[in-house]
């Protein structure tokens, strides 16, 4: 990748407050067009909040975002057409087949049927689901669902694909094949990939550029080599731990999860 690529994502002093809590604190970074960019950080660092602001789901408290030349607040539709997204939680319709899920997405994106039919076949082939296209998604494994979500995210030829922990809970074989799909589509379509992960070895292998966020602030960014040099470490995982410390950040639990945890701890007495 050449260094002269324009920045397809520009983030300047981006801030999001939830009441008194500053979830994202004056964050600035750029992502070059065609890059594979890893956005890393411990639990609660502000990654999802940032992705939500980049993808028009949340309005920033302050700061500036430019996605593919557009401001997500002023040009919401143009920004939405610029990216595809694969969420942490599967967002497929289990009661529909793989093909129907793809067709539904094509309708939502107003793709002409003449174009979408071919694209759907091509993408299902690409993620090795063509022979399962008429099966209900509820019969799919976790890896198959994630592959279908990626195919769906690519349907409208987005310039950017956002993936929030795309490999969470998948076995090493499936993780490896997902990254190889993403690398090939990044190359073939010059599509920018923006992802989060807790698997540091994946980021080290795949990402051209890495930003590390902690407690709402970007604490370092560069290539994996830059980050290792800067911290005098030999792996990205060590560099990450050196930069963010060893304190365990508990995963935020929703109200329902907290209730479940309580009933597990107290044997369901309360």
> Among 240, 241, 180, which Cα is nearest to 205's?
180
> Among 155, 90, 164, which Cα is nearest to 116's?
155
Q: Which is nearer to ligand ADP, 63 or 69 (CB)?
A: 63
Q: Which residues, 240 to 269, sit near ligand ADP by CB under 6 A?
A: 252
Does 145 bind ligand ADP (CB under 6 A)? Our answer is no
Q: Which residues, 67 to 126, sit near ligand ADP by CB under 6 A?
A: none
> Among 67, 162, 148, which Cα is nearest to 102's?
148
Tell the smallest beta-carbon distance from residue 188 to ligand ADP (Å).
30
Q: Which is nearer to ligand ADP, 100 or 165 (CB)?
A: 165
Member of 11, 14, 23, 86 binding ligand ADP (CB under 6 A): 23
Q: Which is nearer to ligand ADP, 41 or 166 (CB)?
A: 41
Interface mask toward ligand ADP for 36-75; x: CB under 6 A: -----x-xxxxxxx--------------------------
Q: How far apart are CA 132 and CA 30, in angstroms?
A: 39
> Among 78, 110, 102, which Cα is nearest to 154's?
102
Q: Which two tokens stand for residue 109?
A: 């994106």
Burial string for 6-38 (b: 16+ CB within 10 Å, else e) reads: eebbebeebbbeeeeebbbbebebbbbbbbbbb
Q: Which is nearer to ligand ADP, 69 or 90 (CB)?
A: 90
Tell the smallest beta-carbon distance from residue 116 to ligand ADP (Å).
32
Q: How far apart are CA 72 and CA 60, in angstroms?
A: 10
Q: Which is nearer to ligand ADP, 41 or 158 (CB)?
A: 41
Q: Where do contacts with ligand ADP occur on this chain (CB under 6 A)?
A: 18, 21, 23, 41, 43-49, 252
């Amino acid at each position: 990748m050449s260094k002269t690529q324009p920045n397809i994502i520009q983030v300047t002093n981006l801030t999001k407050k939830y009441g008194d809590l500053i979830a994202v604190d004056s964050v600035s970074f750029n992502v070059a067009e065609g890059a594979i960019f890893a956005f890393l950080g411990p639990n609660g660092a502000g990654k999802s909040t940032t992705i939500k602001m980049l993808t028009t789901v949340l309005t920033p408290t302050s700061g500036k975002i430019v996605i593919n030349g557009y401001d997500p607040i002023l040009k919401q539709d143009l920004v939405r057409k610029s990216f595809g997204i694969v969420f942490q939680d599967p967002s497929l319709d289990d009661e529909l087949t793989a093909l129907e899920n793809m067709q539904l997405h094509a309708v939502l994106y107003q793709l002409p049927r003449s174009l979408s039919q071919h694209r759907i076949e091509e993408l299902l082939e690409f993620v090795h689901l063509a022979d399962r296209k008429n099966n209900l998604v509820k019969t799919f494994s976790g890896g198959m669902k994630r592959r279908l979500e990626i195919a769906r995210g690519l349907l409208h030829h987005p310039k950017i694909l956002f993936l929030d922990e795309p490999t969470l809970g998948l076995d090493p074989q499936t993780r490896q094949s997902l990254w190889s799909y993403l690398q090939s589509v990044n190359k073939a379509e010059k599509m920018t990939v923006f992802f989060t992960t807790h698997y540091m070895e994946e980021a080290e292998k795949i990402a051209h550029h890495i930003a590390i966020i902690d407690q709402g602030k970007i604490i370092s960014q560069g290539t994996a080599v830059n980050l290792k040099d800067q911290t005098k470490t030999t792996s990205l995982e060590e560099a990450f731990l050196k930069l963010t410390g060893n304190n365990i950040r508990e995963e935020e639990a929703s109200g329902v999860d907290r209730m479940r945890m309580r009933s597990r701890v107290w044997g369901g007495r309360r």
